[in-house]
């Protein structure tokens, strides 16, 4: 695996590869887990060359968020990516990626607004900006993102469509621990007792999905059922637990043929966890 530490070396690598090579790209912030590695495997299946990046992007963290404490495990990540067969790891310094007086940003103005957008102002602007920069540098044919970050996927799909970016996004299924907890770099912050409780987040989504399977179509009722699972425990500080239209992310009264995205964000102690589940109406 080649370890490229700055934009100049990535650009030279990109210019050196055969023109017909299919390039797959897995952008990450490191602290890798099976979810990230599943995206690498998907890229290796589809592409001739796989690039991964590790960059903890300051632009997507709010002033009171965990940028300084975000887990940084570069050596371990490097060996995981190497074992998984990544061809190039791009891990630039902040001063290399961003000009000190950078003043241009990518702002998606619709699907970035609700859910996390309400609680993390500027977050999706930071994500879209860094992902566009990385796309411009790596010039991938395919880029791989996990559906655990469903709203991020929606924002990036809009960006690719609206700005005519020559890349296809491939969205990978959420990879879960045996008890259902979605894998996340932030799970390592959880205390042992909170780690046990964290499985209730997925259980809350499943409770609503069961009600949906039994015929419940009222969005408020589905939200009440899911939210209730977390509220009964008493340890969660729920930011949102909502059923939204899967494409527009607009509020729903009734779940129609389009189905719904059930999405939740909740704090356990000082750790913010998100998860989601897609409801598909029976054919
Ligand atoms: O999902 C992530 O880890 C980040 O938001 C991403 C896409 C790497 C951009 O910094």
Start-to-end CA distance of the chain, whole Å, equals 45
Q: What percent of the chain has pLDDT over 90?
A: 99
pLDDT band at 64 (very low <50, low <70, confident <90, very high): very high
Quote the pLDDT of residue 225: 98
Q: Measuring CA to CA, how many Å separate 68 from each of 5, 56, 63, 204?
A: 21, 10, 10, 31
CA angle 244, 172, 167 (to 5 degrees): 95
- pLDDT exceeds cutoff 80 at 283: no
Q: Cα(49) to centroid of ligand 1, in Å?
A: 20
Q: Read off the pLDDT of residues 165-203 as tens digits, 9 standing for 90 and up.
A: 999 999 999 999 999 999 999 999 999 999 999 999 999
Average pLDDT of every residue of the chain? 97
Q: Which atom of ligand 1 is nearest to the CA of 131?
A: 9
Check if the beta carbon of residue 22 is closer than 8 Å to that of residue 47.
yes
The rounded distance, in Å, linking the Cα atoms of 6 and 10 is 6
DSSP-derived letter for residue 115 is T
The verdict on whether 202 is a catalytic residue reads no
Q: What share of the chain is helix, strand, coil (3-state, %, to 5)?
A: 40, 20, 35
Q: Looking at ligand 1, which residue's alpha carbon is closest to its atom 8?
A: 28
Q: Which atom of ligand 1 is nearest to the CA of 60?
A: 10
pLDDT band at 282 (very low <50, low <70, confident <90, very high): confident
pLDDT band at 281 (very low <50, low <70, confident <90, very high): confident
Q: What percent of the chain has pLDDT over 70?
A: 100
Average confidence (pLDDT) over 71-84:
98
Pinpoint the alpha helices (H) of the chain: 7-16, 34-46, 74-84, 94-97, 116-119, 123-138, 150-162, 192-197, 199-213, 219-233
The rounded distance, in Å, linking the Cα atoms of 47 and 184 is 25
Average confidence (pLDDT) over 79-85:
98
Q: Cα(30) to centroid of ligand 1, in Å?
A: 9
The rounded distance, in Å, linking the Cα atoms of 81 and 167 is 22
Q: Measuring CA to CA, how many Å separate 258 from each of 150, 189, 261?
A: 16, 36, 10
Of 238, 175, 171, the closest CA to residue 201 belongs to 238
Instruction: Copy the structure tokens of residue 60.
Output: 């997507």
Q: Read off the pLDDT of residues 35-61 as tens digits, 9 standing for 90 and up.
A: 999 999 999 999 999 999 999 999 999
pTM over 0.95: yes
């Amino acid at each position: 695996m080649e370890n490229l530490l700055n934009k100049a070396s990535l650009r030279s690598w990109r210019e050196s590869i055969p023109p017909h090579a299919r390039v797959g790209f897995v952008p990450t912030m490191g602290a890798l887990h099976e979810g990230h590695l599943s995206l690498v495997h998907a890229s290796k299946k589809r592409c001739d060359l796989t690039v991964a990046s590790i960059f903890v992007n300051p632009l997507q963290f709010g002033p009171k968020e965990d940028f300084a404490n975000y887990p940084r495990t570069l050596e371990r990540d490097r060996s995981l990516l190497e074992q998984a067969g990544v061809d190039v790891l791009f891990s630039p310094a902040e001063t290399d990626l961003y000009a000190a007086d950078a003043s241009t940003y990518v702002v998606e103005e619709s699907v970035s607004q609700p859910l996390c957008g309400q609680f993390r102002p500027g977050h999706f602007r930071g994500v879209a900006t860094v992902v566009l920069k990385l796309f411009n540098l790596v010039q991938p044919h395919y880029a791989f993102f996990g559906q655990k970050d469903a709203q991020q996927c929606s924002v990036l799909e809009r960006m690719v469509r609206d700005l005519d970016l020559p890349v296809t996004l491939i969205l990978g299924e959420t990879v879960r621990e045996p008890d259902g907890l979605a894998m996340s770099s932030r799970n390592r912050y959880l205390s042992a007792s909170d780690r046990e409780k964290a499985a209730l987040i997925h259980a809350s989504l499943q409770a609503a999905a069961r009600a949906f399977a039994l015929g419940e179509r009222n969005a408020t009722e589905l939200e009440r059922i899911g939210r209730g699972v977390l509220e009964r425990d008493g340890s969660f500080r729920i930011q949102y637990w909502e059923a939204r239209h899967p494409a527009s992310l607009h509020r729903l009264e009734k779940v129609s043929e389009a189905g719904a995205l059930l999405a939740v964000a909740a704090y356990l102690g000082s750790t913010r966890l998100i998860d989601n589940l897609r409801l598909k109406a029976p054919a």
